[in-house]
Amino acid sequence: MTLIEPRFRGLFVSVFALFALFGTSMTIIGATLPKILANFHWNYLTAGIVLGAGAVAYFVSTFVAGYLVKHWGSKPTILLALALIVAGLAFFATTPDPVINTLLSALIGLGQGGVEVGLNSTILRMDERNTGRPMNVLHGAFAVGAIVGPLAVGLLLQSGLDWAVVYRGMAAIFVLLAVLMAFAGLPSVQRKAAEHDEAPERLSANPAYWLSFFALFLYLGVELGVSNWVAEYFVVVFAYAPDASAMLVSLFWLGVLVGRFGVPLLCKGVRPEAALVGLSALATASIALLMLLGYTPAAAIAADVGRGLLFLAGLGCSIYYPTVMTLVGECFPLAQSQAVGFAATGGGIGSFVFPFLMSSIAQNWGIRAGFATYGVFAAGMTLACIWLAVIVNKGKNARQLSLSSSP
């Protein structure tokens, strides 16, 4: 079984490149944040407002983009989203004015949400067998961008390049990719309904609609929470050197990257929902054990074990987002774009809410308690995906029964 149908391979390469750059755009402001704070003399509150504006705009955009894809199609939605990103990156940090930069950050967030939904909808229509493998590989591109982007920014800054030029360079690359996408032949807005498909009921009446939202809400909270706090956790709990702890974030994302490329290649015969439940359980167990290691007196040994658990946590998280999106597309074949947009909105809200929640818990009860909450949330995301898998299997069985009973 091929990963991508031959007629879609050229398009998949273009989408892969765009999603890698999309991953970079999600991390570029964070990578240059120390320079921004030093040059613009912002405090943490101001920086938080600027970053928060992008997060709020992102989850609003994901919801709206689902309807834009349905009525306009993927290509116009993606091109509009890219135009917003280009406008935001072209002018971001040209002035120290926090208000202007907050608005520009919101523009970037609006564009990122549109790209997220537009590309996910496109990949779902390429994956005609609902294997989930193309979606996993696509989100592997996001992980590549999230890892390579900040590294490249760091090397450019070390070379003496003006940090603000990085945003202009990113805007130029997005322009080139927008031109490429303008000439790409994207699949039609909706796949033609099969003969056994019934007229779509109200989306909100299907529990899978809400489960996908809740699953990605928890997942993004866990993914970003572990990524943002694991370095500090190792420093405080295991007496890890601050310089060395920074590499732990890359170790987590390496696990994500290995899973997103490895699972589609090595687990070809495994059903997407089965792989999702198994790896989600692995993430939950790894995060829970990592939290329990925080109470082990042998800090050096615990840190060695903890590094392995951190990689496994990344591996366990790797296919969660793309596989949930694949299952959403399977549950709602006649309304994929709206369902994908709503699920992505859950993830966007989670990425906005959880950093504040974690900060509050860690401030009041300590970082061990804060990290323990991620073990609880990871268990919640596993339960959500189990329930979603049950619904998907019931739908498959019902369709098979309908086909077997039809004359």
**Whole-angstrom distance, CA of residue 16 vs CA of residue 22:** 10
Question: In the 8-state DSSP scheme, what is residue 203?
Answer: G
Supply the pLDDT for residue 33.
Answer: 78
Supply the pLDDT for residue 246.
Answer: 63
Integer CA distances (angstroms), 286 to 233, 282, 318, in order: 15, 6, 13
Supply the pLDDT for residue 2.
Answer: 66
Q: What is the DSSP string of 92-147?
A: TTSS--HHHHHHHHHHHHHHHHHHHHHHHHHHHHH-TT--SHHHHHHHHHHHHHHH
Supply the pLDDT for residue 188.
Answer: 56
Supply the pLDDT for residue 195.
Answer: 37
Q: Give the CATH number of domain 1-188.
A: 1.20.1250.20
Q: Which CATH architecture has domain 203-396?
A: Up-down Bundle (1.20)
Supply the pLDDT for residue 401.
Answer: 56
Supply the pLDDT for residue 236.
Answer: 83
| Model confidence, pTM | 0.78
Q: Where in the chain is the domain with CATH 1.20.1250.20?
A: 1-188, 203-396
**Whole-angstrom distance, CA of residue 331 vs CA of residue 392:** 6
Question: In the 8-state DSSP scheme, what is residue 195?
Answer: T
Tokens representing residue 150 in the block:
């900040």
Tokens representing residue 401 in the block:
């029964």
**Whole-angstrom distance, CA of residue 307 vs CA of residue 305:** 5
- pLDDT tens, N- to C-terminus, the chain (407 residues): 566 777 778 888 888 888 888 888 877 777 787 788 888 998 877 887 888 888 889 989 998 998 898 888 889 999 999 999 999 999 999 999 999 999 999 999 999 999 999 998 888 888 877 777 888 888 888 888 877 877 788 788 778 888 889 899 999 999 999 998 888 777 654 444 443 443 445 777 889 999 999 999 999 989 888 887 787 888 888 888 766 676 787 788 889 989 988 888 787 778 888 999 999 999 999 999 998 887 877 667 778 888 899 999 999 999 999 999 989 888 887 778 888 889 989 988 988 888 778 777 877 888 888 888 889 999 999 999 999 999 888 876 665 555 555 55
